[in-house]
Structures are given as C-alpha cells and as structure tokens.
Structure 1
Amino acid sequence: MEFKDYYQILGVDKAADADAIKKAYRKLARKYHPDVSKEADAEVRMKEVNEAYAVLGDVEKRAAYDQLGGRYQDGQEFQPPPGWDNGFEFSGGDFSAADLGEYSDFFANLFGQAGRGRHHQGWAQSMRGEDHHAKIVIELRDAYAGATRTISLRQARADAQGRVSMQEHSLNVQIPKGIREGQQIRLTGQGSPGFGGGPAGDLYLEVHFQTDPHYRVDGRDVYETLPVTPWEAALGASIEAPTPSGKVQVKIPAHSQTGRKLRLKGRGIPGEPAGDLYLLLEVVLPPADTEKARQLYAMMAQELPFNPRQTMGV
C-alpha cells in the first residue's frame, strides 16, 4: 500500500491552519469538479482532493494522520503499525462500505473503523450529541473473569484560534465477563454533549486483546502453546498447565509429538456456549550446556538408535 501525502495533494504546508486548508480545497474543487472541469483526469483528481480534505479538514483525523505519517513521503510503501489507533477517540459514526468505496485503500485502512468525523444533522432546538468511538486493548484473562480497568484515551481538540492539541482523559471501564474481540462496550453519555438540552452521545469502545505469544484467539476458542519435555511427551505425564483462567492439571498422552492438540472443553472464553481451550504441544529439548548433559545426550545416541529422516527417502 502506498502512502498518500494529503498536504501535497491540497498544495498546503503541514503547518497550514483550518482556513488555509479550506481555501485550498475550494480552489481545487472549482478546478477539478467533473461538471465544470476540462481536465482529462478531473474525476480522479477530484476524488483525491475530496479524500485529502476529509482527513485534513477534520481535527481528529488530521491529528491521527500527522502522528502516524510524519516520516513518510507520497507514494512510499506504507503499512500502518498494528494497533496504531488504540486509545484514539474519534467522534461520529463508522463509515459504511459505500462510504469507503469513494476513498482509497490507504484511507480505508486508516479510518475505516475510526468514525466518520463530525456530521451535520440540520437545525433543531434540541439535538443529541455525537457518539464517540475508540479501540482499547485488554488482557485475555479480563475476558475470562471480567474486570474494572482504567482506560486512557486521547482526543484531538482545537482551541478558538484553530490550534490543535492532544488531550488525554481516563475512564474506569467495566470489562464484561465473556466479551469477545471486536465487541463494543457502550458508555452511555460519554460522547459529545447535546445541543439545546439534548442528551449527550455515547462512547463505544471496541475491544481488542493484547498480543501474547502464548495464545491465539478465534471467536471464543483459545489456542495455547504448551511446552513439554521429551520424557513427558514420550512416556506420558500429568502436568500443571497455566491457562488464562488459572492453572489446570493436564494429562499428556504417551507418544505425543510437537503439534499434538489437546482439547479442554469449555475452557475458552466464557459464554453461551463457552469456547474451548486447545493446548498445542511443543516438545522442548533441554540444552546440552553442561558435561553431564552432553554425556546423557551421547548415551541416548548410543542406546536409542533413531533416525527421524528414515521415511524421507533419497
């Protein structure tokens, strides 16, 4: 995916204020609007200009874009870092597939789930405040038991002079037991204030699990890599295995190999029904880092004639 320099598209400096960005957009819109333009590439250019203004003309998206893309140039190969927008609070609703169809893959990857920014509802004596959206990251174990966590969110705010700053605020959030990745927690009245006595909007927190090298989550099912010794795998054993819900006693069948999968029914993320926990065995060899260990390995080589490559052929 190629990085898009929206400042270059609009022909403005990165320090340009909101008025300068709006003037640049209007000038280019007059030049490239398909209904009046004589330019051969008017339709394509107009789409680029609209996309650039959708970002730079919105305080929140511009702040996020500046934070993410300050080191990239137009056309440069680009991939947004995983979780780049975690904790970034956006106002407005989500984009629909039809909305995103008007923009590039670059825009959709950055802002497809980030909210559409401010939208106008027309004049009214009383109007409900806008909803806000943010992604948060929790530990997998919080989904098993539920928890109360302090979540920090960042939001771009503009002062009377149009200067943008990032403001951080914290909320105590109740993580429901059994929540799945991608589900949302609704905090009533935590969005934008209402107008003319209207109620405040809500804040929707989209839940993601913290990356953990030991676990992989699929819906409510959880996959865990469980290291075992060669003798536990070969002879069978009863061992204590750590899991997101606590330690459990697990029976390792004899003659197990790396990759064997053990199913613990109902030990996944709680729900109706609960998910399952799958233990993926990984046989780990002890290091030959002492003389005694090297002697034991040499003895095994003599007493256990074994060639794991004998079925591979020539």
Structure 2
Amino acid sequence: MINFDYIRMQSVKSTVKALAKFTDAKMIAGGSNLIDLMKRNVTAPTKLIDINLLPLKYIEQSKEGLRIGALALNSQAADHEIVKNKFPLLAMAINAGASPQLRNMASFGGNMMQRTRCTYFYDTSMPCNKREPNSGCGALNGINRMHAIFGANDNCIAVNPSDMNVALIALDAQVVLLNAKKERKMAFADFHKLAEDTPNLDNHLQSNEMIVEILIPENNFSKNSYYVKVRDRNSYAFALVSVAAGLELEGKTIKNARLAMGGVAHKPWRLYDAENYLQGKEINTETFKEAAKIAMKGAKGYGHNDFKLDLAPASILEALMKAAHLS
C-alpha cells in the first residue's frame, strides 16, 4: 500500500470542492471494499477523503417516496421499520449480503460503488482489462465459475457483487449525484454500466461527483416480494445467482411485476421482457416458468459457469413462486 494523505470533511460542500481539486482522490466511509483494494494494490489513491461526518445518514419518507442518505448503513436500512414494512425486498437483499459486521460498516453509497470480486481483478500478477486496460481478461479462458452470462464480451466477464443493487434496480430507485456546480438525478438502472469497451469503468459517476442520496418511489409490492440468493455457503458468500421479485396482484392476476438478477452481469440485471410478459397473467407455475424462459434470452456461459444457464431460470421460478405465496 502506498502512502496517502487523509482528509476529514465536515460538509457536503467542502467534499465536492475537494473532489474537483484532487482528481485522484477516493472517498471513504466504511471502507469495507476500498481498503481491500488498497491492500492488494488494485487501487492506489494519493488522497483519502473521509466523509463520515457528513449529514447523509438519514432514512425518511417524503412525497417522492423513501429517501436514503448515501452514508446510511446497510444494517440501519435493513432494520428500519419503513423499509421492512413498505420495501421488504430491499431489507431481504441487504440481509442476504456479507456478514452482520460488514453490514454495520457498509454505507449505501459504498455498496453502490462496490467493485467486482473477480479473482483475476484482485490478482495483480494476472491480466485484467478492468484493472489495467488492454492487458486482457484472465477469466475468459480461466476459472470463470462466478462470472457473467448476460451482457459480457471478451473484454470482461466480471459481475457486480452487490445484493443491495439488485433490489434497488428492481424497485426503480433513482440516485442523486452532486458536484461543485450542480446536482443531477439518474435512474438507478443507468448508474452502473456494462463492460463493453471500457471495463475499467463500473458506473457513470464522474470523478468530481459524489452520491448524495437514493430515492425509492412508492410501490405496491410489499405483500408479494422475495429475494433469492444462491451461493456456496449460507453466510458471507457472493451470489452465484440472485433474483429480486416483486408482484402487484389483483386477486390472482398480476397487475405489475418487477424482476432483477445479481451474479449474472457487470451491472445489476433488470429482466424487462419477463416483467412485460407477466403483466396481466394469472399467477401459476406455468406462467412463471415461461417468464423465466423469456428472462434467459441472450444468456451465454463461458465454461465453468455454464451451470448458471440452468440455475438462473430455476432461481427466477423460485423467487416468483415465493413472492406469490405459491410455495
């Protein structure tokens, strides 16, 4: 780990000014991912900007829906009564992630910025286009059991590791970003990006911007939501495949549906075609099997992860069945 300067900020205004001035600086809150990256020399910022004193730890209801400050802790949100009662899908996804100790440290903004856990990305002796552009992708012909089946190419087949992100994309969340000059709002679905020709970039956050808050609009999925996470062990393991499902029902008819997956793409993966198919259909096993089949359009395995081509639709079916209380 290289030497770095440490700066503790007292206000949002001073933070965005510092980001504009120091282009190679990194913000730190819980540091549950950043410190790992620094220890392994994957990233080497010359300045760390501590933002823990900023007034961004709120979770509150508003006319726009639920407002969650970027520094709100994962554990704080998962245990919050509003989240548990009105947005249980988010609580389930957060509680499926990491360990209680890490959830007590991890902030919403930090979780959003969490980088892939691809072993080739973390191993600086191996080629990785994400870590070192144009060096190649070690996972492509290597051990790629954890890797993408959607939206990947030969430049990068890594996946976004966050459970929280899967729920947020399913819930149509928005992100509020701020720099020294202006604020902008972005759909959560547009925040992260596919690897494409720039796998070194995980999202559309500019170097002079910070995440201020996340907005989740009101919805009618609270009674019919479920989060499935398939992993190698029940605790402190990243998803092989995960599914966030939310259904709005009128009797046995699906009025509205939300489906998203984790562990399958460079970004949290929203299943729009399957959602559109489900609208107006009756809840039953056959309907859900067909939705899962539609969701898998374009999926591609890379050898060691070919099993995901069967695991993913089975997980979608399980999430929908449990969201509809049919199993």
Q: TM-score, normalised by structure 1?
A: 0.27
Q: TM-score, normalised by structure 2?
A: 0.27
Higher-Rg structure is 1
Higher relative contact order (CA 8 A, sep 6+): 2
